[in-house]
Amino acid sequence: MSLTDAVYAILTAFAVNVGLGPLLISLLKRLNFGQNVRDDGPAAHAIKAGTPIMGGVIILLSFVVSSLFFIKGNMDGLMLLFVTVGFGFIGFLDDYISVTKKRSLGLRAYQKLIAQAILCCAFVYYLLTNTSALFGVSQTSVLVPFTYGYFIDLGVMYVPFVIFVILSVVNAVNLTDGLDGLASGVTLLVVMFFLVIAWVVESMTLPLAGAVVGSLLGFLLFNSHPARVFMGDTGSLALGGFVAALAIMLKLPLFLPIVGVVYLMEDLSDIIQVTYFKLTGGKRFFKMAPIHHTFELSGWEETKIVALFYIITAVAGLVGYLGAEFLF
């Protein structure tokens, strides 16, 4: 796959997104699929109530349409498409239940976990039965950042490691989706990093990375502040699944804590908050978790927080480049 393919994928996904976006947003409004704001969320978010959710459908449709032009004979691309749509479907069910039952939570935690675990197992099976010779190392090997080409073979630990990475990233992207344009912009920058790597190593995943970039560029037109639509779990779960699966296919999952440092911050802040709350009998470590809400309650404007997290992600991508320098 060439960089030209990625550019075509970006432009196609962007065009589909821009074309379908207004139509789908209008449909979501007519169906009354509006956001149910959490009672324990920041007071400033009350104004967001009623904003259409399930905007992830726009991302998924533009991603799928663009990807279909490059899927023929591309098994890696087909599996990446399967994982992304699969997680998106789980998110869609979650969103649908949420809006139809008029509650902030959709699927039960155990229901989401079981469905996600099934997808993870299917993905792991593909990886272990695939004969791809990327980097000329074993399928269970991953690149260690800043080692100039050292791969560690995880052996039997590869399976639980992959499942842990996918579930962690999916949850982290879901937590990051809390401010207008935050998850979509951060994920755009993260995917751009992996797109460059996919181009350098001539991975078959390249055009699909381009399709996600184009989808997010288009979606930001509607999702940036003030948002006309939210991606919902439909979008955040799909994007989390895509990012994790792409990083794993490129043998770069250890780069996720670097380039996805915002995801890590959001995830850890939530874990710390819950743990501290339980250990202290109700005290809070942060004003509110995930951490972007702490910034809000500290008086930061929403757009300033989003811009800060974009900058952090962009800088983290440059650090990630240094960690993978030998590839270039």
3-state SS, one letter per residue, for the chain:
CCHHHHHHHHHHHHHHHHHHHHHHHHHHHHCCCECCCCCCCCHHHHHHCCCECCCHHHHHHHHHHHHHHHCCCCHHHHHHHHHHHHHHHHHHHHHHHHHHHCCCCCCCHHHHHHHHHHHHHHHHHHHHHCCCCHHHCCCCEEECCCCCCCEEECHHHHHHHHHHHHHHHHHHHHHHCCCCCHHHHHHHHHHHHHHHHHHHCCCCCHHHHHHHHHHHHHHHHHHCCCCCCCCHHHHHHHHHHHHHHHHHHCCCHHHHHHHCHHHHHHHHHHHHHHHHHHHCCCCCCCCCCCHHHHHHHCCCCHHHHHHHHHHHHHHHHHHHHHHCHHHC
Packing angle, helices 109-129 and 232-249, rounded to 10: 30
Query: How far is residue 250 from each of residues 67, 143, 201, 255, measured CA to CA in Å?
Result: 18, 9, 9, 10
Residue 309 reports pLDDT greater than 80: yes
What confidence tier does 16 reach under pLDDT thresholds 50, 70, 90? very high
Q: How confident is the model at residue 184, as a pLDDT? A: 97
Provide the pLDDT confidence category of residue 327 given band limits of 50, 70 and 90.
confident
Residue burial 212-250, b: 16+ Cβ < 10 Å; e: rest? bbbbbbbbbebbbeebbbbbbbbbbbbbbbbbbbbbbbb
pLDDT at 105: 66
**Residue 47 included in any domain:** yes
pLDDT value at residue 2: 83
Say yes or no to pLDDT of 133 above 80. no
Ranking 30-34, 169-173, 271-275 by mean pLDDT, the lowest is 30-34
- Summarised one tens digit per residue, pLDDT across range 33-55 is 876 655 555 655 556 667 888 89
pLDDT for 294? 92
Given a cut of 60, whether residue 171 has pLDDT beyond it is yes
pLDDT at residue 218 in the model: 96
Q: What is the mean pLDDT of residues 306-319?
A: 98
Query: Does residue 41 contact residue 234 with C-beta atoms inside 8 Å?
Result: no
- The answer to the question of residue 308 being in a domain is no
Angle between helices 3-30 and 182-200 (to 10 degrees): 160
* In-domain check, residue 280: no
Mean pLDDT, rounded, for 281-288: 89
Which pTM value belongs to this model? 0.94
pLDDT confidence band for 86 (50 / 70 / 90): very high
Q: Is residue 126 part of a domain?
A: yes
**pLDDT of 70 higher than 80:** yes
Least confident of 30-34, 90-94, 246-250: 30-34
Is the pLDDT at 286 greater than 60, yes or no?
yes
Q: Treating both helix axes as pointing N-terminal to C-terminal, what angle do 109-129 and 158-176 enclose, rounded to 10 degrees? A: 130
- At residue 36, the pLDDT reads 62
Confidence of residue 146 (pLDDT cuts 50, 70, 90): very high
Pick from 129-133, 185-189, 191-195, 322-326: least confident: 129-133
* pLDDT tens-digit series, residues 196-250: 999 999 999 999 999 999 999 999 999 999 999 999 999 999 999 999 999 999 9
Residues 218, 231: Cα–Cα separation, whole Å: 12
39 in a domain, yes or no?
Answer: yes
The number of folded domains in the chain is: 1
Predicted local distance difference test score (pLDDT) of residue 215: 97
Who contacts 293 (Cβ-Cβ below 8 Å, separation ≥6)? 41, 42, 178, 286, 287
Confirm whether 270 is domain-assigned: no
What pLDDT, on a 0 to 100 scale, did the predictor assign at position 328? Answer: 78
Are 97 and 106 spatial neighbours (Cβ–Cβ below 8 Å)? yes
Structure tokens at 250: 């490129």
Indicate the average pLDDT of the chain.
91
Does the residue 88 lie in any domain? Answer: yes
Whether residue 41 lies inside any domain: the answer is: yes
Range of the domain at 248: 3-256
Q: What whole-number percentage of the chain has pLDDT above 70?
A: 92
Give me the torsion for CA of 92, 95, 98, 101, rounded to 10°: -50
